[in-house]
A and B are shown apart, each in its own frame.
Chain A
Amino acid sequence: MAPDLFLTVLAFTTSAIVNPKEVETHVSGNDMGSTWLTDHSAGSGPYILAKWDRNSQIVLKANPNYWRGKPAIDTIIIKHVPEPATQRLLLEKGDVDIAFGLTIDLIDQIKDKPGIRVMSYPVLQLAYIGMNVNNKYLSDERVRTAIKYAIDYDGIIKDILRGGAMKVQTIIPYPLLGFNPSTPFYRDINKAKQLLAEAGYANGFEIELAYPAGAHPQEEIAQKIQRDLGDVGIRVVLRPTAASEMYQRYRQQALQMVLAGWGSDYPDPDNNAKAFGNYRIKQLAWRNMWYDNTSADLVERAFRESDRASREALYKQLTEYILQLGPYVVLYQVVQHVAMRTWVENFVPDPSFGTYLHLYKVYKEAVVSR
């Protein structure tokens, strides 16, 4: 196993260190203390979980014994405010300092207001279309390439996501090792039509696209893709499906085309490479029935490669291979926005889409009058 990969996973939240003595006193049954840990801290981080009122708030207290010293802020309250418009009112009023859940419309409305600062940063999440290669039409590489040329990527990014995305077409997100900035596909109707004609589908065909029902911006994107592919003669039937049902059918390899996303489970290229490239572990490649051994072997070699430069070269080869031949249209990488009061200092955003907060250095500038 590559040492970089091992260290990355070790340093990530999934393998957080807890005090065994403390946890062992709270074991019930064979849960290894996990029930108790849901509501208590036994780690060595800068903050301690003081209280968790489900769906209401999480209260964190500064850890006086933290190895780098006690953090500047005593108490941090993470409030559950499901409605974005309410979050905006709270932020503008100054009753909250940081708001994570604002929609792009709200971000646009407040970003220039005095006292408010907006940070935008890419997170390790890709949106893609999966194409099941068991399908009669999608099994043809020319058809898949035609679809890649039929989609208006810039339109999706500029008009639908409006700042909520960056253009990425390869399977490893920025800025991980092996990120490949190549974006060769752009909307070219003639080229797409020509490829379809070569494949014998000059008159197009009908295909289903599943997406999570009622989800935004997926719904808007699915409609846009229906129009884009319609322009080259591919008649897309939209199948909005409840997420619980969609993923079950996806796992059963039962979807034709699907609009979905992949967030990296740990910040190392291995995670995305495995999911998209190695059918043997039964993730995305398998669900789209892309049983490609060249790709799977590359993923496994990169997993074992201990030299960083050689590993990077392997990922370059892999991303290029999947970009051209893989059963995916990678549409974009998600860009997240966080709005905060200007009195918040040293906030460091984390690309792992909000599961990890770096709060040790955060502090608030003294506010004289409000």
Chain B
Amino acid sequence: MALVVIGIATIVFFVTRVIPADPVGAILGPQAPPEVVDRIKREYGFDKPVYQQYIDFIVNLLRGDLGRSISTNRPVLEDIKERFPATFELATASLLIALLIGIPVGIISAIRKDSALDHMLRIVSLFGISMPVFWLGLILLLVFYYTLGLLPGPGRLDPYVREPPRITGLITIDSLISGNMAAFINALSHLILPASVLGYLSSAYIARITRASILETLKQDHVRFARSKGLPWREIVVRHIIRPSLIPIVTVIGLVYGSLLEGAVLTETIFAWPGLGSYLTRAMVFMDYNAIVGGVIVIALIYSIVNLVVDIIYVYLDPRIKYG
């Protein structure tokens, strides 16, 4: 895992340095005099030869230092620590919604293959894959916040709510720890709309894979055998169909979760959610070297961890899989 991270860090490091852009100029804007540009370049070490910058970078990386972001003028690690909890909270809530929709929809439409219900569910999930997220987000805000007033507007917490102390950075968890129920309910209601948008969109992938995987299992001999034994259909589905179908489903869930944890720029923008996606996008626009490399390292770590967890789950699902 460490090798993967260092490998990715190296690639991204050189890609950012190859692009003929000037991060200092981009941050200081068109008006800064050349002396100032040069001084800031020296401050960040961008005036050194690339191999020297790379050595410094790797040495710092091994010490857990990702360098300073040139646009926020703070350590990249601090920035990410501030942004990641918001993304983690939203991604996890979204994944829960995606699972709650995706798995049952996939199972039902596989078992009732080619029925009217199957077609309807497939159309709904096709919508999920093809729907522009900014449109869906704005429509939900318009309906549930503006018109009906049922749910709060953008942001993570309303200004009139007393903020819980920052412990994990996850407002829902922090408010529970500190026993601040008002903040918990408020934070949870702020999560509903953005998590529904992302959850619905992701549920489409999960539903499709679930359906395909279950259809595949349905064709297998052991299912035919179970049916010929005269087992009740419900029991066949639960014991002989769902469990063997889970491996590809878990794989997709891992990928979906990984991509949710990268942050979702458009959703974050519409719901004024201070997450990782908008941070990274901004870093790329301004060619903020350290922030880009740092962000990519974090994403690589997330994927590695999610993959590891998925691999461990495989072992539980399929006793034939063993890691030597």
Residue numbers in B under 8 Å from A242 (CB-CB)? 21, 26, 285, 287
CB contact between A79 and one of B25, B33, B37, B155 (< 8 Å): that residue:
B155
Stretch at the interface among A53-61, A150-158, A324-332: A53-61
Known: A81-B154, A95-B153, A244-B286. A263 touches B278 (CB 8 A): no
- Determine if A54 and B33 form an interchain contact, defined as CB atoms under 8 angstroms apart: no
- Determine if B274 and A247 form an interchain contact, defined as CB atoms under 8 angstroms apart: no
Binary interface profile of B, 122-155, with partner A (CB < 8 Å = 1, else 0)? Answer: 0000000000001000100110011000000111
- Determine if B26 and A86 form an interchain contact, defined as CB atoms under 8 angstroms apart: no
Rounded to whole Å, the gap between the CB of A35 and the closest CB of chain B is: 8
Contacts of B15-42 to chain A: CB distance below 8 A: 19-23, 25-26, 29-31, 33-34, 37
A57 to B154, CA, bound (A): 12
Closest to B279 in A: A55
- Determine if B287 and A247 form an interchain contact, defined as CB atoms under 8 angstroms apart: no
The answer to whether B272 has its CB under 8 Å from any CB of chain A is yes
The answer to whether B49 has its CB under 8 Å from any CB of chain A is no
The answer to whether B270 has its CB under 8 Å from any CB of chain A is yes
CB contact between A244 and one of B33, B138, B272, B287 (< 8 Å): that residue:
B287
- Determine if B269 and A248 form an interchain contact, defined as CB atoms under 8 angstroms apart: no
- Determine if B272 and A83 form an interchain contact, defined as CB atoms under 8 angstroms apart: yes
The answer to whether B319 has its CB under 8 Å from any CB of chain A is no
- Determine if B153 and A247 form an interchain contact, defined as CB atoms under 8 angstroms apart: no
The answer to whether A191 has its CB under 8 Å from any CB of chain B is no
The answer to whether A216 has its CB under 8 Å from any CB of chain B is no
- Determine if A89 and B269 form an interchain contact, defined as CB atoms under 8 angstroms apart: no
- Determine if A89 and B146 form an interchain contact, defined as CB atoms under 8 angstroms apart: yes
A281 to B155, CA, bound (A): 45
Closest to A53 in B: B274
Binary interface profile of A, 112-128, with partner B (CB < 8 Å = 1, else 0)? Answer: 00000000000000000
The answer to whether B72 has its CB under 8 Å from any CB of chain A is yes
The answer to whether A348 has its CB under 8 Å from any CB of chain B is no
Closest to B152 in A: A95
- Determine if B31 and A244 form an interchain contact, defined as CB atoms under 8 angstroms apart: no
The answer to whether A291 has its CB under 8 Å from any CB of chain B is no
Contacts of A223-280 to chain B: CB distance below 8 A: 242-245, 247-248, 250-251, 260-263, 265, 275
CB contact between A248 and one of B22, B83, B134, B156 (< 8 Å): that residue:
B22
- Determine if B155 and A56 form an interchain contact, defined as CB atoms under 8 angstroms apart: yes
A261 to B31, CA, bound (A): 9
Residue numbers in A under 8 Å from B272 (CB-CB)? 56, 79-83, 86
The answer to whether B184 has its CB under 8 Å from any CB of chain A is no
Residue numbers in B under 8 Å from A282 (CB-CB)? 33-34
CB contact between A93 and one of B31, B83, B146, B278 (< 8 Å): that residue:
B146
The answer to whether A38 has its CB under 8 Å from any CB of chain B is yes
Interface size in chain A (residues, C-beta < 8 A): 36
Closest to A34 in B: B73
Residue numbers in B under 8 Å from A38 (CB-CB)? 73
Rounded to whole Å, the gap between the CB of B26 and the closest CB of chain A is: 3
A56 to B169, CA, bound (A): 14
Residue numbers in B under 8 Å from A89 (CB-CB)? 141-142, 145-146, 153
- Determine if A250 and B30 form an interchain contact, defined as CB atoms under 8 angstroms apart: yes
Closest to B78 in A: A54
Binary interface profile of A, 274-311, with partner B (CB < 8 Å = 1, else 0)? Answer: 01000001110000000000000000000000000000
Known: A54-B274, A250-B30. A244 touches B145 (CB 8 A): no
Could you jot down 24 A-B contacts, CB within 8 Å? A56-B272, A79-B272, A80-B274, A81-B272, A83-B134, A83-B138, A83-B270, A86-B138, A89-B153, A93-B153, A242-B26, A243-B26, A244-B22, A244-B287, A245-B20, A245-B21, A247-B22, A247-B25, A251-B25, A251-B37, A265-B31, A281-B33, A282-B34, A283-B31
Chain B residues at the A interface, C-beta cutoff of 8 Å: 19-23, 25-26, 29-31, 33-34, 37, 72-73, 79, 82-83, 134, 138, 141-142, 145-146, 153-156, 159, 269-272, 274, 278-279, 285-287
Known: A83-B134, A242-B285. 6 other contacts (CB 8 A): A53-B274, A57-B155, A57-B159, A244-B22, A245-B21, A247-B25
5 closest Cβ pairs, A-B complex? A244-B26, A248-B22, A244-B21, A244-B287, A245-B21
